[in-house]
């Protein structure tokens, strides 16, 4: 009795790496989309100054945060931000976030299955989800994006080509 | 039956129901170590003599520290703060909420402040902000609609921002729900009809929206059956105690259902009309329910069709071809609204332009629709609606609901998903 190894939470380093990479890329893409896409810019303009939100997995899973400064500039704040976000979207486990980021479960279905919790002002959280939906359409090919959101939008050719290219480029080079 | 890969269902509320069950409240409170309770109610409930029925039933066996009836029709953060001060000052250790949705939501707000020892309710908005059990709360509904007595949410207005703030946590579930037929016997016909349609909407949206699951489905179906079997009879015969108890039970189990399955666009739009134009919630629900079901029909028509069974009964259901059941169910709801409108001399409006205030003024002017649509985009229930809703979608639906015309679904045909029959 009493002679047993303590099991530490964690593990699955490849999953953790994949999720951290996806969050990093989505975070930088949101920063880029705020410059390129008028709808994303409008969503951020309607949010209060110094607003920030985070997205990540519970139990020390990977995280990312996005902030808007007092000049209205949207910035990706990284994975270990010290700020306390006004809206915190937490996926209940790394496995649930993995389902989401491998597009086996759409955001609305994940939400309906109680896989995420939202802390903070709900109307601001709604704006964050709309921003995430738009950015997913920019980042993903249409067949995959259709799995991630409720309705694939009808966009102009410019949005589908030039804006998409700009956002992906800016997300890669971080500018 | 729809069986999701994953679902959750939780209702920890003890429901006590019958024709004379108020008398059991002191014993139930004593089991939770409560010695001094505060009654929160509103002026209408007090004037209707319902508070006296409650105090007569309980005062011999428990000390009542305060009876406060200053709750407005829409729960208000300022009132919550004032009542919390009275609770603390009078040394109360539990709350009995006697009233409709706003009273119960106000009581939940007060319970947050006194249990968390805070002076700022807004710190607890959203989901998951509460981390521990609150103090004892007994809910005695006086309408058969909101189901607040078994829901884990509260909606409280913030007048400074002209917004309704939502609070969501399992800790907001009351400890006890007391359904006593005496509490709804004097409810006027138009309030009976509107609140019952609110309950019907809870059940219909719980059954057709994204978080539906087998446990909430069973509650939803039974709630709809109880409402359609009893509502018109109760409107014609208001003193029908059995019918009143059936409606109270329907609201209760519809509340259990939607508290777990959540609701969709009917509530998204209804909350916003309430916030912008101060239209009673039940009125919004009864008007908007057919439009919500119509808008989502390409995704959830199968579930809407299944509602025809509890709505219209087995004969109509079996005679109607499967493909026609969704439209028939919606038609049944529109017919029910019209019958309720006729039975209440027009006080159960069937379209938004017909909603009038006490002075006969239109409560939802057409030029307010864009503001309502913008507000709706910030309502959390939009997440649970099967189909996407943007500003233009909401505005179009509102225009139909305003005029009372059936939704013209061909207006959405250019949007990809309206062509598809795929389900999420």
pLDDT 10s digits, B256-284: 999 999 899 999 999 999 989 999 999 99
State the average pLDDT for chain B. 93
Above 60 in pLDDT, residue B24? Answer: yes
Chain A: residue nearest B4 by CA?
A113
Within a domain: A34: yes
Q: Could you say which residues of chain A have pLDDT below 50?
A: none
Q: Which domain holds residue A43?
A: 13-173
Q: How many residues does chain A have?
A: 175
Mention every residue, 6+ apart, whose C-beta is less than 8 A from residue B159: B76, B77, B78
Residue B200 pLDDT? 98
Sheet with A74-78: list strands edge to edge: A74-78, A63-68, A52-57, A87-91, A116-119, B126-127, B163-168, B153-158
Distance from CA of A128 to the nearest CA of B (A): 10
Chain B residues within an 8 Å CB radius of A111:
210, 383-384
CA A37 to CA A108: how far, in whole Å?
23
CA A47 to CA A43: how far, in whole Å?
7
Within a domain: A8: no
Above 60 in pLDDT, residue B2? Answer: yes
Residue A62 pLDDT? 92
> What CATH number should be reported for the domain holding residue A93?
3.30.1050.10
* CATH code of the domain made up of B189-418: 1.20.1090.10
Inter-residue contact B379 to B272 (CB < 8 Å): yes
Work out the percent of chain B whose per-residue pLDDT is above 90.
83
Please report which confidence band the pLDDT of residue B420 belongs to, taking 50, 70 and 90 as the band edges. Answer: very low
Residue B368 DSSP code: G
Give tens-digit pLDDT for A10-36: 678 899 999 999 999 999 999 999 999
Q: Do domains B14-183 and B189-418 have the same CATH topology?
A: no
CB-based contact (8 Å) between A45 and chain B?
no
Beta strand pairing call for A52-57 and A87-91:
parallel
Above 50 in pLDDT, residue B421? Answer: no
Q: Where are the domains of chain B?
A: 14-183, 189-418
Which of A47, A90, A107, A108 should we substitute to test contact with B (largest number of B Cβ atoms within 10 Å)? A108
Residue B17 pLDDT? 98
- Name the maximum alpha-carbon separation found in chain B: 67
Residue B123 pLDDT? 85
Question: Environment class of residue B81 by beta-carbon count within 10 Å: exposed (0-12), middle (13-18) or buried (19+)?
Answer: middle
Give tens-digit pLDDT for B340-367: 999 999 999 999 999 999 999 999 999 9
Please report which confidence band the pLDDT of residue B129 belongs to, taking 50, 70 and 90 as the band edges. Answer: confident
Chain B residues within an 8 Å CB radius of A151:
387-388, 415-417
CB-based contact (8 Å) between A160 and chain B?
no
Inter-residue contact B71 to B128 (CB < 8 Å): no
Give tens-digit pLDDT for B224-257: 999 999 999 999 999 999 999 999 999 999 999 9
Token pair for residue B311? 């709505």
ipTM of this predicted structure:
0.90
Inter-residue contact B108 to B137 (CB < 8 Å): yes
Above 60 in pLDDT, residue B423? Answer: no
Q: Cα–Cα–Cα angle for B41, B45, B49, nearest 5°? A: 120
Closest by Cα among B78, B56, B82 to B68: B82
B377/A125 CB distance under 8 A: no
| Phi, psi (rounded to 5 degrees) for B341 | -60, -45
CA B87 to CA B256: how far, in whole Å?
28
Please report which confidence band the pLDDT of residue B422 belongs to, taking 50, 70 and 90 as the band edges. Answer: very low
Chain A residues within an 8 Å CB radius of B388:
149-151
Residue range B14-183 forms a domain whose CATH class is alpha beta
Assign A73 to helix, strand or coil.
Answer: coil
Above 60 in pLDDT, residue B424? Answer: no
Domains in chain A, number: 1
Above 70 in pLDDT, residue B419? Answer: no
Residue B103 pLDDT? 94
Query: What would the mean pLDDT of B198-206 be, rounded to a whole number?
Result: 98
Token pair for residue A153? 């939008």
Token pair for residue B345? 């001399």
CB-based contact (8 Å) between A100 and chain B?
no
Work out the percent of chain B whose per-residue pLDDT is above 70.
97
CA B65 to CA B87: how far, in whole Å?
8
Chain B: residue nearest A127 by CA?
B378
Q: How many CA atoms lie within 13 A of B325 on its CB side?
A: 24
**Of the ranges B42-51, B150-159, B326-335, which one carries the lowest mean pLDDT score?**
B150-159
Question: Environment class of residue B244 by beta-carbon count within 10 Å: exposed (0-12), middle (13-18) or buried (19+)?
Answer: buried
Give tens-digit pLDDT for B60-90: 889 999 999 989 887 889 999 999 999 999 9
CA B193 to CA B197: how far, in whole Å?
6
Chain A: residue nearest B9 by CA?
A114
Within a domain: A1: no
Closest by Cα among B128, B144, B192, B147 to B13: B147
B384 vs A112, A123, A125: nearest CB: A112
Residue B414 pLDDT? 57
Give tens-digit pLDDT for B137-150: 999 999 999 999 99
CA B52 to CA B58: how far, in whole Å?
10
Chain B residues within an 8 Å CB radius of A120:
125-126
């Amino acid at each position: 009795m009493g002679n047993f190894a303590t099991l530490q939470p964690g593990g699955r380093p490849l999953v953790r790496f994949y999720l951290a990479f996806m969050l990093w890329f989505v975070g930088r893409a949101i920063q880029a989309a705020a410059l390129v896409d008028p709808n994303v810019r409008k969503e951020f303009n309607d949010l209060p100054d110094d607003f920030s939100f985070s997205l990540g997995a519970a139990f020390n899973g990977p995280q990312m945060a996005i902030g808007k400064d007092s000049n209205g500039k949207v910035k990706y704040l990284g994975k270990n931000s010290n700020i306390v976000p006004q809206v915190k979207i937490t996926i209940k486990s790394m496995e649930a976030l993995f389902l989401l980021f491998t597009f086996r479960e759409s955001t609305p279905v994940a939400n309906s299955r109680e896989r995420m919790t939202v802390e903070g002002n709900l109307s601001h959280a709604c704006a964050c989800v709309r921003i995430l939906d738009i950015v997913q359409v920019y980042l993903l090919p249409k067949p995959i994006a259709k799995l991630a959101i409720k309705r694939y939008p009808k966009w102009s050719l410019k949005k589908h080509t030039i804006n998409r290219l700009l956002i992906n480029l800016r997300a890669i080079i971080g500018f | 039956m729809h069986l999701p890969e994953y679902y959750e269902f939780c209702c920890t509320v003890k429901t006590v129901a019958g024709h004379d069950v108020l008398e059991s409240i002191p014993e139930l409170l004593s089991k939770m170590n409560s010695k001094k309770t505060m009654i929160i109610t509103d002026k209408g409930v007090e004037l209707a003599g319902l508070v006296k029925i409650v105090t007569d039933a309980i005062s011999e066996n428990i000390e009542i520290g305060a009876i406060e009836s200053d709750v407005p029709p829409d729960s208000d953060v300022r009132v919550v703060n004032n009542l919390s001060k009275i609770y603390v000052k009078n040394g109360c250790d539990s709350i009995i909420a006697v009233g409709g949705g706003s009273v119960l939501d106000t009581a939940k707000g007060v319970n947050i402040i006194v249990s968390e020892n805070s002076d700022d309710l807004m710190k607890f908005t959203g989901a998951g902000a509460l981390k521990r059990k609150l103090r004892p709360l007994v809910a005695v509904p006086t309408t058969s609609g909101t189901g607040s007595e078994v829901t884990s949410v509260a909606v409280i207005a913030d007048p400074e921002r002209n917004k309704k703030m939502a609070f969501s946590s399992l800790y907001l579930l009351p400890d006890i729900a007391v359904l006593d037929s005496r509490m709804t016997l004097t409810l006027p016909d138009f309030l009976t009809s509107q609140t019952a349609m609110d309950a019907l909407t809870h059940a219909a949206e719980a059954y057709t929206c994204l978080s539906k699951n087998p446990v909430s489905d069973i509650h939803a179906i039974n709630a709809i059956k109880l409402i359609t079997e009893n509502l018109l009879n109760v409107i014609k015969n208001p003193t029908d105690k059995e019918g009143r108890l059936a409606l109270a039970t329907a609201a209760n189990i519809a509340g259990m259902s939607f508290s777990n399955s959540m609701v969709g666009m009917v509530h998204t739009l209804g909350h916003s009309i309430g916030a912008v134009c101060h239209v009673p919630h039940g009125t919004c629900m009864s008007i908007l329910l057919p439009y919500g079901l119509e808008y989502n029909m390409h995704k959830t028509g199968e579930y809407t069709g299944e509602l025809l069974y509890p709505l219209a009964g087995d004969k109509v259901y079996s005679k109607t071809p499967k493909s026609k059941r969704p439209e028939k169910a919606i038609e049944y709801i529109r017919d029910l609204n019209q019958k309720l409108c006729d039975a209440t001399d027009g006080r159960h409006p069937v379209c938004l332009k017909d909603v009038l205030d006490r002075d006969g003024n239109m409560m939802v002017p057409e030029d307010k629709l864009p503001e309502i649509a913008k507000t709706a985009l910030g309502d959390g229930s939009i997440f649970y609606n099967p189909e996407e809703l943007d500003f233009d979608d909401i505005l179009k639906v509102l225009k139909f609901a305003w005029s009372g015309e059936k939704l013209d679904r061909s207006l959405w045909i250019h949007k990809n998903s309206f062509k598809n029959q795929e389900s999420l």
